[in-house]
Amino acid sequence: MKKTKAGSILAVVTAFTLLAGCGGNEAGGTTGGSNGGSGSEKPAQAAETNKPTKISIMANLHTAEVPSDMIEKMIEEKTNTELDIQWVPDGTYDEKVNASFATGTLPQVTYLKNAASLINMRDAIRNEQFWEVGHLLKDYPNLNRLKPEVLKNTAVDGKIYAVYREVPLSRQGMIYRKDWADKLGIKSPTTVDEFYDMLKQFKEKDPDGNGKDDTMGLTDRSDLVYGAFKTVSSWFGTPNNWGEQDGKLMPEFMFPEYMDTMKFFQKLHKEGLINQDFPVTSKTDQQNLFTTGKAGVYIGSMADVSSLEPKVLEVNADAVLDVQNKVVNGSAEYGVWSVPGYGSVTLFPKSAIKNEEELKGVLSFMDQLMSTEIGNLMYWGVEGQHHQMEEGKVVPSTDTKLTDREVKPYQAMQVGGPLTIEGFLEPKHLSPVKAKAEEMIVENNDYLIEDPTAPLESVTFNQKGVQLQEMIKDATYNFMLGKLDDAGFQAAVDNWLSSGGQQIIDEYNQAKQAQ
Amino acid sequence: MVQDRTLSSRLFDIVNSTLLIIIALVTILPFLHVIAGSFTTVTELAQKQFVLFPTVWSLDAYKYIFSTNTIFKALGVSIGVTFFGTLFSMVVTALMAYGLSRKDLDGRNLIMFAVVFTMLFSGGMIPTFLVVKSMGLIDSYGALIIPSAINAFNLIIMRNFFQNLPEGLEESAKIDGAGDWKILFRIVIPLSMPAIATISLFYAVTYWNTYMQAILYMNDADKWPIQVILRQIVILASGLAADTSGMEDFVRPPEQTVKMAVIVVATLPILCVYPFLQKHFAKGALLGSIKG
Amino acid sequence: MSETVIKAAPNPETKKKSQESGLLKRMIKNRSIYFMILPGLLYFVIFKYIPMSGLVIAFQNYQPYLGIMGSPWVGLEHFQRLFSEPLFFNILSNTLILFFINLLFYFPVPIILALMLNEVRINFFKRFVQTLVYVPHFMSWVIIVSITFVMLSMDRGIINELFVMMGFEKINFLMSTEWFRPMYVLQVIWREAGWGTIIYLAAMAAIDPGLYEASRIDGASRMRQIWHITLPSIRSVIVVLLILKIGDVLELGFEHIYLLLNSMNREVAEIFDTYVYTAGLKQGQFSFSTAVGFFKSVIGLILVMLANWLSKKAGEEGIY
């Protein structure tokens, strides 16, 4: 009895000492911790030229795991730096950036996820929280190659604060089952009518020959932009987000072509030519319908063919895929919507970079990331391990597990891209359809429909643009499912206008005039 | 014990057991699908969608996730955080709950109200981040434990259990001259094993599910617990990541089978905790502890 | 029991002094008790009450770079925006309806399930079932919702295929306003009911088996035993959980509903959290989100205080 009593008291005392001990240690650790995080010791070291410069980075993790540090070590060695890379899972990237920003713990090199994240930062940028870099870029041979027209899209009040990672301007097109089309004697569609006919035959003529009515035409997902809808709307000639009507900027959904697109989808849905659940289908389920031979057409990024093809062949070894981009409505001209040319952008917080001297050091590192050697290293990995060279072109290793773990994550840290990095290696596509898809993506560059508001700003849009867009999205889906008629859709547009949409229109038009 | 062998009682048992079997089956089927899905091929999963027994078996998914030590490392972190976190939380919670269960404590209602208040009002992510940062907890495992040391809900439940103990026991111990610490450790805690087991389980599960704290406070990916890896894979594989950064061309999402395998690996360890605690939920467990 | 409760009832001036010295005396006598609650108190102060200062941003136009001290004050502007929102009443009624559905259809299920488990006499079987029903709690909503989707889909969903085989029409579960609420509550029951039994089983473990024995000798049926012994013994736990549940009236599980929400069911599925997510966080409006959270907390607080008061009126302990 006595022993246990003593034991229990001892346990409590230990617990408290532990508690107290923890507290003490942590208090002691505070100063060291916060210094290390902000990297404020850096300028002192810059004086000693041989010592590697410390660079802290926050980047978006798109793969299952954090990469091995092999390529990081190589970059460090080549750039004489010591990198501290904070990988943040994609799903919570914006939250982490916001929290770090609010607590003053952003690193020196902060990647922003996408255009929307940049828009959210505009106010902070305007309030001088980040370094302006526009006037410095010309001093760096590689950064100087970044395209002015793309940089302009990232600008705030005409000043440039960011460098960007390049993305292809328009990868949009269709991927379809050529074996099905050949069997039914359908040629690659070039008009919307032919496209409709293809979907109809894919549904009704039993293209897989199993005697069952178990196929459909198009597979789509719950995404009005990167799914099929926006690309088909381009075929109909709808502008990209905003278009000009009598010299005035108007949102796309006020154009008759948008209505035509919705009616087209309504017809597809009614006739069962598209998956019935497309407004709630995930990308995974959408692709499943295609790879398992339930649907014959996939519209979206033509580059997806490289991941779709092996899966389709796994299910049906005789399947053949093909791609097509140029589809038009009637005798209209072909056009395809494009993105502003950048994926993620990089900002340089003043909280982490103390002076312009330090900024120049960081920019010189960014410049080296765009060099031929490191640019290719970050994208393709190491020759012999992650890829082979054939006829001066890259053949990526088939061991995707290896490249997923050692190379792919670093692509998120890329600065520039194929168009801006000197001597950027081209891939050799072993699959003919993938090669064709790449050709068509390049070809799309001649037919781009740009978003005229990309370089413009509207305060109201910043405030409630997303929320307002939601109204239009709801109305669009409900129209396509036949739950809303023309008048109902018009009512939604009117609601949009009166809830702030009219202000957005006015602000964009003013911004355009001011340019 | 008097045996109850009446017809109506037996009928009751039969109906009750049958219903429970049906309920158990319904609840477990989706998890069986996840397990089966983790042992089959990507193609089979895509074609069948709902698999309960794979026709083609494959260990590829497990080979993939175990081919690096990331999962092991993350499991290690989670197990450590769960174990020490639960221990720490239980000590602090039990002490406070016992103190607040004492009816002779002045101000206890005020304190309880203050506790309930924190369940409703919270300052949000950023102010808490600042507190954690100012304590120097960033990148230390303490950041996953100390800021969530007490869960108000658990505290209230535990206090409720303490309050429901027969009052006479404490009184007679006091008359025998036992101090507060002795009463707590020699009488109250041994008598409250079902509650201790329950609240330990609640804490363990909370620590096991730690996610957002890890994202915010752990910059070093080596210190990520399993939930971070799990969520990353589930979100990527479910196609929930936005297509807006133009990365989807380069990076293939993890396969569905890999997603299933990670779910299994991340769930099994915490599932194993429950059976160990179950003996405390047996009928009359409390009486047993008094006699023993 | 009640005579031991010390209440600071209004007292005449004369009595006050002696009471204060009594208070001091009691505090000294109970010093070890205060020592026990000290670490917990510190925890609540440091990690809950200090960060609570962040709530002031509900009355500001908070900008991260200006901080709480530097952001401009706007008073009740964000609250005005919330209340003047055309969808405000729609969202409020959606939230309340879901809450009542949850209270009515989910809350009793773990109690019933725990009672059923408590009646099982074969120990192995009891543990086995207990373990199985608690598994779903560990599956994230993403997984549960995607499995539901696979089963209920119009395209290849098992349920709809079955309907077609049996000669019925397909039902559009996922995109209908009628099916959203049943689907929501069924998923909640499926995931949480087994987990919810744990607390009740722990409370039942504390019941003296002698009570059952005595009632059995009296010839009470099993249902009578449940009604007259088991339920009264866990009553106080049920009351506490009910009060806490009521405080959560506007918290319905953001992730779950967000995943079920789509353009076709929005009119019944939009709740405060999902609304704030699109209106606020997606656009980085910290202050507005905080204001909405503040509003939810105030409602929760009022209801908790009401429920606690009622439970005390009814002779229960309440929470505080």
The pLDDT-based confidence of B243 (bands split at 50, 70, 90) is: low
Q: Pick from A8, A28, A291: which is nearest to B185 by CB? A: A8
Cβ contact B133–A103 (<8 Å): yes
Q: Which chains does B contact via 3+ CB–CB distances below 8 A? A: A, C
- C37 vs B111: CA distance, rounded Å: 10
Report the Cα–Cα distance between both ends of chain C, in Å, rounded: 16
Same structural domain, C155 and C248 = yes
Average pLDDT score over residue span A223-238: 95
Cβ contact A277–C174 (<8 Å): yes
Same structural domain, C119 and C245 = yes
User: Could you tell me which chain A residue has the CA closest to the CA of B241?
Assistant: A91
Whether A90 and chain B come into contact, CB under 8 Å, resolves to yes
Q: Pick from C156, C198, C204: which is nearest to B201 by CB? A: C198
pLDDT in the model for residue C63: 84
C-alpha distance from C34 to closest chain B C-alpha (Å): 7
Tell me the DSSP string of B16-37. Answer: HHHHHHHHHHHHHHHHHHHHHH
Same structural domain, C24 and C101 = no
Percent of chain B whose predicted confidence (pLDDT) is above 70:
91
Q: Pick from B115, B131, B197: which is nearest to C51 by CB? A: B131
Check if the beta carbon of residue B227 is closer than 8 Å to that of residue B266: yes
Counted across chains B and C, CB pairs separated by less than 8 A come out at 270
Residues 6+ apart with CB under 8 A from A38: A104, A105, A351, A352
Average pLDDT score over residue span B196-216: 94
* Residue C177, token pair as written in the block: 């306003």
Strand partners, A54: A82
- C294 vs C300: CA distance, rounded Å: 10
- Which of A24-38, A91-105, A348-362, C202-216 has the least mean pLDDT? A24-38
Q: Which of B248, B124, A32 is nearest to C68 (CA)?
A: B124
User: Considering only CB atoms, which chain B residues are within 8 Å of A103?
Assistant: 126, 129-130, 133
Cβ contact C143–B286 (<8 Å): no
At A352-373, the pLDDT tens digits run: 999 999 999 999 999 999 999 9
A32 pLDDT higher than 60: no
In A, residues 475-494, which contact C (CB 8 Å cutoff)?
Answer: 476-478, 481, 483
The pLDDT-based confidence of B200 (bands split at 50, 70, 90) is: very high
Whether A98 and chain C come into contact, CB under 8 Å, resolves to yes
Q: Which chains does C contact via 3+ CB–CB distances below 8 A? A: A, B
Q: Pick from C39, C262, C284: which is nearest to A279 by CB? A: C262
Note whether residue C151 is domain-resident.
yes
Show the domains of chain B with their CATH numbers.
7-58 (no CATH), 68-291 (1.10.3720.10)
pLDDT in the model for residue A45: 44
Q: How far is CA A494 from CA A462, A477, B129, in A?
A: 20, 17, 43
User: Considering only CB atoms, which chain B residues are within 8 Å of C128?
Assistant: 24
Check if the beta carbon of residue A235 is closer than 8 Å to that of residue A329: yes
Same structural domain, C39 and C140 = no
Check if the beta carbon of residue A175 is closer than 8 Å to that of residue A219: no
Cβ contact B267–C134 (<8 Å): no
Check if the beta carbon of residue A377 is closer than 8 Å to that of residue A403: no
Same structural domain, C101 and C180 = yes
At A305-335, the pLDDT tens digits run: 988 999 999 999 999 999 999 999 988 889 9
pLDDT in the model for residue A280: 93
pTM: 0.88
Counted across chains A and C, CB pairs separated by less than 8 A come out at 76
Same structural domain, C227 and C113 = yes
User: Considering only CB atoms, which chain C residues are within 8 Å of A289?
Assistant: 155
- The SS3 of residue C60 is strand
User: Could you tell me which chain C residue has the CA closest to the CA of A127?
Assistant: C65
Same structural domain, C21 and C94 = no
C-alpha distance from A62 to closest chain B C-alpha (Å): 7
Whether C293 and chain B come into contact, CB under 8 Å, resolves to yes
Cβ contact A412–B254 (<8 Å): no
Whether C33 and chain A come into contact, CB under 8 Å, resolves to no
Cβ contact C209–B114 (<8 Å): no
Note whether residue C35 is domain-resident.
yes
pLDDT in the model for residue B289: 47
CATH code at C193? Answer: 1.10.3720.10
B288 pLDDT higher than 50: no
The pLDDT-based confidence of A397 (bands split at 50, 70, 90) is: confident
Same structural domain, C12 and C108 = no
Cβ contact B27–C150 (<8 Å): no
Cβ contact C175–A280 (<8 Å): yes
B5 pLDDT higher than 80: no
- Interface confidence, given as ipTM, is 0.90
- B207 vs A71: CA distance, rounded Å: 34
The pLDDT-based confidence of A484 (bands split at 50, 70, 90) is: very high
Q: How far is CA A498 from CA A154, A254, C80, in A?
A: 29, 14, 18
Residue A294 DSSP one-character state: S
Whether C155 and chain A come into contact, CB under 8 Å, resolves to yes
Strand partners, A112: A345
The pLDDT-based confidence of B12 (bands split at 50, 70, 90) is: very high
**Whole domain around residue C26: which residue ranges?**
1-49
Mutate to test the interface with C, among A276, A460, A477, A478 (most CBs of C within 10 A): A276
pLDDT in the model for residue A114: 86
Cβ contact A303–B249 (<8 Å): yes
Mutate to test the interface with B, among C47, C148, C306 (most CBs of B within 10 A): C47
Note whether residue C288 is domain-resident.
no
Cβ contact A481–C153 (<8 Å): no
pLDDT in the model for residue B253: 82
User: How many CB atoms are closer than 10 A to CB A385?
Assistant: 14
Check if the beta carbon of residue A263 is closer than 8 Å to that of residue B217: no
Strand partners, A111: A346
Cβ contact B43–A311 (<8 Å): yes
Q: Pick from A98, A129, A294: which is nearest to C284 by CB? A: A98
Cβ contact A5–B186 (<8 Å): yes
Q: Which residues of B250-262 are buried (b: 16+ CB within 10 A; e: fewer)?
A: bbbbbbbbbbbbb
* Residue A382, token pair as written in the block: 């190491």
* Residue A486, token pair as written in the block: 């023309």
- Which of A500-514, B3-17, B98-112, C136-150 has the least mean pLDDT? B3-17
**Residue linked to tokens 């507005």:** C288
At C91-115, the pLDDT tens digits run: 999 999 999 999 999 999 999 999 9
Across A197-338, the runs of DSSP E, i.e. the strands, are 216-219, 242-245, 248-251, 295-301, 321-324, 336-337
Cβ contact B215–A30 (<8 Å): no
pLDDT in the model for residue B114: 96
Note whether residue C296 is domain-resident.
no
pLDDT in the model for residue B283: 60
Cβ contact A478–C278 (<8 Å): no
pLDDT in the model for residue C282: 58
Note whether residue C285 is domain-resident.
no
Counted across chains A and B, CB pairs separated by less than 8 A come out at 170
pLDDT-flagged residues of chain C (< 70):
1-20, 280-284
A510 pLDDT higher than 90: yes
The pLDDT-based confidence of A405 (bands split at 50, 70, 90) is: confident
At A262-302, the pLDDT tens digits run: 999 999 999 999 999 999 998 888 999 999 999 999 999 99
Q: How many domains does chain C have?
A: 2
User: Could you tell me which chain C residue has the CA closest to the CA of A464?
Assistant: C279
Note whether residue C311 is domain-resident.
no
Whether A86 and chain B come into contact, CB under 8 Å, resolves to yes
Same structural domain, C32 and C104 = no
- C38 vs A170: CA distance, rounded Å: 62
Note whether residue C73 is domain-resident.
no
Whether A134 and chain C come into contact, CB under 8 Å, resolves to no
Same structural domain, C11 and C113 = no
* Residue B208, token pair as written in the block: 């096991």
Which region, left, alpha or beta, applies to residue A272 given φ > 0 means left and ψ of -120 to 50 means alpha?
Answer: left
User: Considering only CB atoms, which chain A residues are within 8 Å of C279?
Assistant: 464, 466-467
pLDDT in the model for residue C20: 66
Q: How far is CA A292 from CA A309, B48, B99, in A?
A: 11, 9, 62
Q: Which of A166, A256, A251 is nearest to A452 (CA)?
A: A251
At A171-198, the pLDDT tens digits run: 999 999 999 999 999 999 999 999 999 9
Same structural domain, C242 and C121 = yes
- C202 vs C22: CA distance, rounded Å: 38
Check if the beta carbon of residue B239 is closer than 8 Å to that of residue B121: no
Note whether residue C63 is domain-resident.
no
C-alpha distance from C207 to closest chain A C-alpha (Å): 28
Show the domains of chain A with their CATH numbers.
48-168+342-424 (3.40.190.10)
Same structural domain, C274 and C220 = yes
Q: Pick from C6, C206, C320: which is nearest to B104 by CB? A: C6
In A, residues 399-428, which contact B (CB 8 Å cutoff)?
Answer: 400-401, 404-405, 408, 411-412
